[in-house]
Amino acid sequence: MPVWTPKTLLFPFFIALGLIALPDRPLRADSAGYQKTLKSTAWVITSNAENETSAGTGVYVDAEKKLLLTNAHVIGESRKAVVFFPTQTAGKLAVRRKFYLNNILKLGIQGDVVAVDRKRDLALIQLPRVPSGIEAIEMADDSTTPGAKVALVGNPGDSEILWVYTAGTVRSVYQKKFKSTHGEHDFMALETQSPIKPGDSGGPIVDEDGKLVGLAQSFSPQSPLVSFCVDITEIRPMLDSPWKSAPLPAKVLLDEAGIEYTKHASGHYQIDRSVGSKTQAVFVAKNTEYHGRADIRRIWSTVQTTDQAPGETLLMRLMRQNTATKLGAWAVEKTASGYVIFYVAKLDATASDEALESTIDYVARLAAAMEQDLKPKPDQQTAQATLQAWLAE
């Protein structure tokens, strides 16, 4: 064991004093950065077609157009959002959710969702006004680098407190393609060593100068300290590109079109259409599908379920018919109970009410005709025999 002399004792003592004194400047810098970022941060509340609410965070990015940026998964299929900016009460920052909700008429701002990019998991909300003192955040020109210090201001859902500050460090910046519970994503990711919690999504990730370098998106299921953010190099193109209108939820679109429906046990929407003397059930998918900036609404009708796989001749005939149909195609799907033959159309999810109704009618008529053809005849015992007889005619 070493023998410590007074000289060796003094050295670590002064180092310790330095460690105590040095944080004064970084702490003041962090506080100033927090106050600066706070002026651009918002609490975002949305509601889906089933009146289920969700909440997240957003960042004010354009004062001229009054645009708030958040994640697409925060918005979901909602086309309206209630936005709260931080305010003070009794000279102090109000941080409790209940305070804002109790003062919603005074503090809440209803915004319109004007653009959604699901691939990047970004969405824009346009606001009619913003409170005084709110400022559009300054954006970095390019990506930050590994090892850089960053910070987040967010609204974690597991807390009654808003405007929570979280510090972190950049681990890496790279192209990330992955699936989440919110869909398929492909964007330049800013990976950080800092916890992001549900509710923080859409919050600003800022560098030491207070400039926006990313948007909080998700956290790793393997490590809660590893978080993924949308890099600034994805945010700038989103803001600069022409906005594509965000599609309405299926329920809202059906309601606005005056189309009667029932909600199926699967969650999809069932429309019963009369075709001649029979009723054909047509389904509209509850969620939209997308590829890049293309949003698609799926509409289909089941024709037959059988425990035997359709023969090669039938499949070839269905393929030939697919080349002649105006929209959509015949499909065969294997399920746990057998094989399903159905007709499916995929419509632009931003198409008009009239286009939706026309597509539903088209799917109903085509499916009803095929179902009639496949129906067993009196002298035949099985659906497979009907298929063979029908193909032989």
Q: Could you read off the pLDDT tens digit of each residue along the chain, which spans 393 residues?
A: 333 333 333 333 232 333 333 344 454 558 889 999 999 999 999 987 677 788 999 999 999 999 999 999 999 888 899 999 999 998 999 999 999 999 999 999 999 999 888 889 999 999 999 999 999 999 999 999 999 999 999 999 888 999 999 999 999 999 999 887 777 889 999 999 998 899 999 999 999 999 999 999 998 888 878 999 999 999 999 898 877 667 788 888 899 889 999 999 988 999 999 998 889 999 999 888 877 667 889 999 998 888 888 888 888 888 888 888 878 899 999 888 889 999 999 998 888 889 999 999 999 998 988 888 777 655 555 555 655 555 554
Provide the residue ranges of all domains of the chain, joining segments of one domain with +: 24-240, 250-392
3-state helix/strand/coil string of 79-119: CEEEEECCCEECCEECCEHHHHHHCHHHHCEEEEEEEEECC
Between CA 153 and CA 35 the distance in angstroms is 10
CB 247 within 8 A of CB 297: yes
Q: What is the CATH number of domain 250-392?
A: 3.30.1460.10
The overall longest dimension of the chain from CA atoms, in Å, is 110
Strand partners, 298: 346
Residue 378's pLDDT is what?
A: 55
Is residue 84 within 8 A of residue 107, CB to CB? The reply is yes
Look up tokens 């700038």; give the residue: 236
Residue of 113, 194, 104, 181 lying closest to 151 (CA atoms): 194
Task: Check: CB of residue 121 under 8 Å from CB of residue 71.
Answer: yes
Q: What is the pLDDT of residue 16?
A: 32
Question: What pLDDT is stored for residue 353 in this prediction?
Answer: 86
On whether the pTM is more than 0.85, the answer is no
How far the first Cα of the chain sits from its last, in Å, is 101
Chain centroid to CA 163: 22
- Other beta carbons within 10 angstroms of residue 256's beta carbon come to 11
* Domain 24-240: which CATH number of 2.70.98.70, 2.40.10.120, 3.40.190.10, 1.20.120.1200: 2.40.10.120
Extract the tokens encoding 260: 């009667």
